[in-house]
């Protein structure tokens, strides 16, 4: 008889794993208490990227007069209400696709909140369901910073910002991580006055520091105001200069400053969805960072696994999907060791920032003397296709070991998310700089940067 698998959560990790498991002959039951597609599709990656793409269109059109496409310079208008409707339509279309996927043979989708009863039993809607294995893929939620007055009605998290159907004139963002930077890039392109308050000394701390600084400066040229090494202190509506606004007070270099906005976005990270899962009763180890798992993403209880944001390893949809494949292969008795350090990532600002492998800072700190890594660079301004696209703001950085073995790649510029995939694939098979140099790229393309 075929093995069975229960999956709690129908986000990218959950539904992708369900599809893969069903194709491997497992009987799969998926539990979802909200919308199919999870946070990524409904309140995260997908709706955010609609806005990021729209921002790129706005910025391209703003420069169109220089190409002779309009008789005089003009700033294209943004009908934010229609853009919001388009975003919702995109989400609905993809959600329907996930629901169709969950209706294929071998998969049952159960609507409702599920919790563990033991290592083989899940309770949902008052009914006990049993299976050979259980997979927890419940994702994460926005974490609000500990700031006085943060419960103010003018303060929203990423979900709240994406729900707005009117464009704020002024947006204050607490946090310059991925969400903060993507929203700063998009909303500034739409015409919103954007201010970013970040506690650390630079934006995007997980990124190559050189490229992160270049991205920040690019956004500053577009009018985004950054306050770095600044600690958010309080939010208040008292004494504000305009109705329906709020003021954020922050401390920078020992002095207090205040900035006002119609909306204040709290973008200070996400926490694992471990509440009400019955983890304690099932004897599963976890902490505030997530459920503890081994290299096969099995929890402290044999036969129970956890993937994606809920295990705290890496908050990326494609990482969750890859982890799910490892789990299914482990159940089937096949080896599939995921190379977590090589998972590529991207920030969909304009310009984009993407990377795979350790940053230059990390590698130079760990590889010294004769083992010091090689760092080679290529600039967008010297690339023919980039010039034709008027997208010369960018840099490609490839890092290799002394023997030429590829270790990492970090890119700032147009289509960085697409470009970095090539190097990610080459790193995974142990390729060298000479191997990369031997690859023939079409002319003229951005790929020639590699």
- Whether residue 198 is annotated as binding a ligand: the answer is yes
Whether residue 274 is annotated as binding a ligand: the answer is: no
How big is the CA angle at 60 (ends 57 and 66), to the nearest 5 degrees? 155
Q: How far is CA 429 from the centre of its chain?
A: 25
- Is 223 annotated among the ligand-binding residues? no
Write out the two tokens for 190: 């739409």
Residue 340 among known ligand-binding residues: no
**218 marked as binding residue:** no
- Name residues whose C-beta falls within 8 Å of residue 105's C-beta, 6 or more positions apart in sequence: 22
* 138 belongs to an annotated ligand binding site: yes
Q: Which residue has the tokens 């798992």?
A: 293
d(CA 364, CA 370): 11
Determine whether the annotation assigns residue 177 to a binding site: yes
Does residue 140 have a known ligand-binding role? yes
Contact 363, 407 (CB under 8 A): yes
- CA atoms of 383 and 316, how far apart (whole Å): 31
The span from the CA of 383 to the CA of 94, in Å, is: 36
Query: Is 269 annotated in some ligand binding site?
Result: yes
Element (H, E) at 331: helix 317-331
Residue 258: CB atoms within 10 Å: 13
Q: Is 110 helix (H, G, I), strand (E, B) or coil?
A: strand
Are the CB atoms for 411 and 369 separated by under 8 Å? no
- Of the listed 53, 86, 318, 443, which one is catalytic? 443
**Selection from 327, 228, 272, 276 nearest residue 26 by Cα:** 327
- To the question of whether residue 430 is assigned a binding role by annotation, the answer is no
Q: Is 66 annotated as a binding residue?
A: no
Is residue 141 part of the annotated active site? The answer reads no
Q: CB neighbours of 130 closer than 8 A, spacing ≥ 6?
A: 4, 120, 121, 122
Q: State how far the Cα of 26 lies from the Cα of 2, in Å rounded to an integer.
A: 6
181 labelled as ligand-binding?
yes
Distance CA 394, CA 379 (A): 6
Backbone angles phi, psi at 62, to 5 degrees: -65, -25
| Burial class of residue 304 (count of CB atoms within 10 Å of its CB; 0-12, 13-18, 19+) | buried
The response to whether 49 counts as a known ligand-binding position is yes
Name the one residue in this structure whose structure tokens are 């007069």: 65
H or E element, residue 31: strand 27-32
Under 8 Å between Cβ of 397 and 375:
yes
- Residue 176 among known ligand-binding residues: yes
The answer to whether 355 touches 208, Cβ cutoff 8 Å, is yes
Residue 239 marked ligand-binding:
no
- Residues annotated as part of the active site: 443
Please state the residue numbers annotated as binding site for FAD: 49, 138-140, 309
Please state the residue numbers annotated as binding site: 49, 138-140, 175-182, 198, 269, 309
Please state the residue numbers annotated as binding site for NAD(+): 175-182, 198, 269
């Amino acid at each position: 008889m075929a093995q069975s698998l229960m999956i709690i959560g129908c986000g990218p990790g959950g539904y992708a794993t369900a599809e893969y498991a069903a194709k491997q002959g497992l009987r799969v039951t998926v539990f979802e208490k909200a919308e199919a597609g999870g946070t990524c599709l409904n309140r995260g990656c997908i709706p955010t990227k609609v806005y990021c793409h729209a921002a790129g269109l706005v910025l391209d059109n703003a420069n169109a007069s220089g190409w002779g496409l309009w008789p005089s310079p003009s700033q294209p208008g943004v009908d934010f209400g229609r853009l919001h409707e388009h975003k919702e339509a995109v989400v609905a279309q993809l959600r329907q696709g996930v629901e169709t996927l969950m209706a294929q043979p071998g998969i049952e989708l159960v609507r409702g909140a599920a919790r563990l009863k033991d290592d083989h039993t899940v309770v949902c809607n008052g009914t006990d369901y049993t299976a050979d294995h259980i997979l927890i893929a419940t994702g994460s939620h926005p974490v609000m910073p500990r700031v006085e007055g943060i419960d103010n009605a003018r303060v929203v998290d990423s979900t709240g910002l994406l729900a707005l159907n009117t464009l704020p004139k002024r947006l204050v963002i607490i946090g310059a991580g991925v969400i903060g930077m993507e929203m700063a890039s998009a909303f500034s392109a739409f015409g919103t006055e954007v201010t970013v308050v970040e506690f650390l000394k630079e934006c995007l701390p997980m990124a190559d520091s050189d490229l992160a600084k270049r991205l920040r400066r690019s956004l500053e040229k577009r009018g985004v105001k950054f306050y770095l090494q600044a600690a958010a202190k309080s939010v208040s509506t008292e004494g504000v200069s305009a109705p329906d606004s709020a003021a954020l007070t922050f401390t920078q270099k020992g002095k207090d400053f205040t900035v006002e906005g119609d909306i204040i976005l709290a973008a200070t990270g996400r926490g694992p969805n471990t509440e009400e899962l019955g983890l304690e009763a099932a004897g599963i180890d976890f902490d505030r960072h997530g459920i503890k798992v081994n290299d096969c993403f099995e929890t402290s209880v044999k036969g129970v696994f956890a993937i994606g944001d809920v295990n705290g390893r890496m908050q990326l949809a494609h990482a969750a999907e890859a982890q799910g494949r490892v789990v299914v292969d482990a159940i089937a008795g096949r080896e599939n060791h995921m190379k977590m350090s090589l998972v590529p990532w991207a920030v969909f600002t304009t310009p984009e920032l993407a990377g795979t492998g350790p940053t230059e800072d990390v590698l130079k700190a760990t590889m010294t003397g004769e083992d010091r890594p090689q760092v080679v660079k290529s600039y967008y301004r010297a690339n023919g296709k980039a010039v034709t696209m008027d997208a010369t703001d960018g840099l490609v950085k490839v890092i290799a070991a002394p023997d030429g073995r590829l270790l990492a790649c970090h890119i700032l510029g147009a289509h960085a998310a697409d470009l970095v995939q090539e190097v990610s694939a080459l790193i995974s098979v142990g390729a060298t700089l000479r191997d990369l140099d031997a690859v023939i790229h079409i002319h003229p393309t951005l790929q020639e940067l590699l």
